[in-house]
Amino acid sequence: MNLKPIIPIIALSALAAFVPAMLTGDPLAAIKFSLAFTGLFVLPLAPWVALLDKQPLEQTVIAIMLGIPAAAITFFIIGVLKGPLTLPIFVGIPALIFAVGCWRLSKRQA
């Protein structure tokens, strides 16, 4: 599978999140925020939006616009069902969405 189409989306999101987080005065904190934001909200939808016939910046905008509610609504449903909202859930659900997206992207590329 060629992951090249998702790299600009990830890079744009990570860069955008890093710069304002530098206002904490701590580069490590900024990197942590940037990676967590991109990893949880943008990366999962990156292979999905890469399927759209749009420029990388617009794909990134769509990934952010949809990644935030998609993650939150999933966590909300798990929370209502009394499931634990622990690290494996916060990381695992986005990872699962990313994996399915990669599978779809690979099918399109094949």
Partner 1 sequence: MDASWLHKHKYEIAAFLLFILAWGLRANVDGLPLDYPGNIKAADPMYHALAADIIVESGRYGNLAPYFAQGITNMIDPSPPLNYLTTAAISKVSGLPTWVVMYLLVTLFEAFGVLILFFLCSRIFDSKPIGLLAAGLYVLPFGLSDWWYGMYIGLWNNVGGFFFFYASLLLAYEYWQKPSRWSIFALSLTVAGAWLIHVAELFITAFAVGFVGLRLLWKVPSIKEKVTHALLLGIVPLVSVILFWPRYQELSSFLTAGSGGAESSLFGWYYSTLPTLPFYTSLGQFPWWFLLVAGLGLLQLLVNWRKYLPLLIGEAYLFCHLFVFPWFLSAYYFFVRQRMALPFIIAPLVAYGAYHLIVRNTMKYAKIPEELAVIALVMLVIGLGWGEYQGITGLKQQEHLTPAKYDALHWIQKNTPQDAELVFVTGYYQMSGSFAKRVGFVFDLPDAVPALQSFVQNNGTVNLTLPYLGSNGDTEMAHNALDEGSFFEYGRGKKRYGPMNVLSFDYAVFADFQIGDQPVIQLYNNRMIGALINEHGGTLVYNKNGIYIVQVNA
Interface residue list for partner 1 (CB under 8 A)? 12, 15-17, 19-21, 23-26, 29, 32-33, 35-37, 39-41, 52, 55, 57-58, 61-62, 64-66, 68-73, 75-80, 82, 84-87, 90-91
Shortest distance in whole angstroms from residue 2 CB to partner 1: 18
Shortest distance in whole angstroms from residue 38 CB to partner 1: 10
Whichever of 55 and 109 has its CB closer to partner 1, that residue is 55
Shortest distance in whole angstroms from residue 75 CB to partner 1: 4
Shortest distance in whole angstroms from residue 92 CB to partner 1: 11
DSSP states of 1-55: ---GGGHHHHHHHHHHHHHHHGGGS-HHHHHHHHHHHIIIIIGGGHHHHTTSSS-
CA torsion, points 28, 34, 36, 38, in degrees to nearest 10? -160
